[in-house]
Chain A
Amino acid sequence: MEIGYLLYKAVIPFKENPSVLVSFIFLITISIIFWYYINNAKMGKIKEIFIRRIPALNSIDEAVGRSTELGKPILYIPGIMDIDNIQTLASLSLLSYIAQKTALYETELIMPVSRSVVMTVAQEVIKESYLKVGRSDLYRADKIFYLTDDQFGYAAAVDGIISREKPGAIFLVGAFYAESLILAETGFSAGAIQIAGTAMITQLPFFIAACDYVLIGEELFAASAYLSSDIIDKITLKTQDISKAIVMSFVLFIAIFNNLLVSFPNLANLPFFNIINLIIKTFFTNK
């Protein structure tokens, strides 16, 4: 009775919106692939994987090096969203790598933030990075500071910092809205080498127009794995690529199938086409 009632409760959302079931199955599939590769990497079965070069990530060392040569600081902007945003988390992963580089080159790293929780986490990340390369003496907590939660207030304050400090390199990595171009254009006018990265599709054109290198969409999420020397980190890229291949296959199959049905309407009478059409309409249409 109890189990039957629980099963009934569990099935309700799938009856109302069958596409939830597809999402759930897809998530389980990715989780299994993810776990499989991580396990293999941990057991030493996978030692190295091929990774496509991403120019924006290769240019990080160049940007840090250039700032060091010029004796100018590096400015890191993690977007305007809070720590619960996945882009901010991805940005903090990248920050870890950049902070290690700045510590090695003894270059000043300035990080104004618009969320107090991000500030606290960023201070911890940078501190750990400096410690990792044995330069904890260079760490200064007051270089990672809170400005304001207000979107344009933050943009104005960062613009002021760019104009006064004239950084050699600026990293704009995270979630940005309308302030993206205000920041990027001020950075351009200050003559800084700019590396941007965001998954905000509306802001990508602005960054592409105003910055030297851009991490487009998913490249931002792949950044920390790409830069890591740990195979367990790197192997996650493989899961990402396999997931993309699965989705692409589905899209391609459904596109061909629908085109066939439109071009040859008589095919809909065949049982195979009928069943596939029913599955697509039931599970791949958001209600």
Chain B
Amino acid sequence: MKRELPLFITAITGILIILNFVFPELTGGITETLRDWTIMIASFAILLGILNLIIVNLRKSLEPITHLEDRIFSIIVILSLVLTTIIGLIYGIKSNIQSFVVFKINNDYIFPLIETEFLKRDTNIFTGVIFNSVYTPLNSATFSLLAFFIASAAYRAFRAKNFEALILLLSAAIIMLGRVPIGDYIFSIFGIKISLISDYIISVLNAAAQRAILIAIGIGTIIISLKLLFGVEKSHIGKGD
């Protein structure tokens, strides 16, 4: 029963959502209701996370075998959690703290950035010190690491170790040169417009490969969903076979 009941609920919920997609007029706002339930359950689940965070870090900071730096980090985590919660409860959080600017590329949310406007408006201790002066710079610092990591990863990826890597290197070189005015200027000597080749690589070769992967991902998603609906996939509830 421990496994059958979750599988039954999964199947019923999945079928209802599919029916709602195909026959929205018949099934009403069932998806919205289920989404609301998910939000409520997730809100309760955050308590589990916080409890786990406190227990794990308390244990780390009290255990004699833990390294000194591990202990220090654990103490900082617990202190930050307690301090932020207390200040948040006392001073409250302004509603516009929820506002985010998100870049949307190919239907994926890529880089969430905090809207600068509320940074100017909020002046209480919570948003003013903890959020604006600690959280945001730390977040930006971690994000900025990406620039250096892209450079190091690109250096390794573009080394022409074999034929495939050579093609990758050549494509990258063509695209980079095609994106800057000097590229066309250099290649005009040979009568080649490199920006056109660059556009062709991006809009034809790259787009075709990306779409092939996307279609396969879509089918893979359907199959996993069917496995869940038919009760073939049970590992998320503990397979136990």
List 24 A–B pairs whose Cβ atoms lie within 8 Å, in order of A's numbering. Answer: A13-B22, A27-B18, A82-B42, A86-B225, A116-B47, A116-B49, A116-B52, A142-B59, A146-B50, A153-B139, A164-B67, A178-B146, A181-B150, A199-B220, A201-B106, A202-B105, A206-B150, A216-B213, A217-B213, A217-B217, A221-B223, A221-B224, A239-B226, A247-B215
Minimal Cβ-Cβ distance residue in A for B103: A178
What's the interface size class on B, roughly?
Answer: 35 or more
Q: A230 CA to B21 CA in the complex, in Å?
A: 33
Q: A216 CA to B216 CA in the complex, in Å?
A: 10
Encode A101-116 as 1/0 by CB contact (under 8 A) with B: 0000000000000011
Cβ-neighbour of B241 out of A83, A90, A230 (below 8 A): A230
Whether B154 contacts A119 by the Cβ 8 Å rule is no
Shortest CB distance B45–A (Å): 5
A interface residues (Cβ-Cβ under 8 A, vs B): 6, 9-10, 12-13, 20, 23-24, 27, 30-31, 34-35, 38, 82-84, 86, 89-90, 92-93, 95-96, 115-117, 119-121, 124-125, 127-128, 132, 142, 145-147, 149-153, 155-156, 159-160, 164, 177-178, 181-182, 184-185, 199-202, 204, 206, 208-210, 216-218, 220-222, 224, 230, 232-233, 236, 239-240, 243-244, 247, 251
B interface residues (Cβ-Cβ under 8 A, vs A): 18, 21-26, 38, 41-42, 45-50, 52-53, 55-56, 59, 67, 69-70, 73, 105-106, 108-112, 138-139, 142-143, 145-146, 149-150, 152-154, 156-157, 210, 213-217, 219-228, 230, 232-233, 235-241
Q: A167 CA to B52 CA in the complex, in Å?
A: 23
Whether B53 contacts A220 by the Cβ 8 Å rule is no
Whether B219 contacts A142 by the Cβ 8 Å rule is no
Whether A208 contacts B157 by the Cβ 8 Å rule is yes
A-side contacts of B73, CB under 8 Å: 160
Minimal Cβ-Cβ distance residue in A for B140: A152
Whether A182 contacts B112 by the Cβ 8 Å rule is no
Whether A247 contacts B219 by the Cβ 8 Å rule is yes
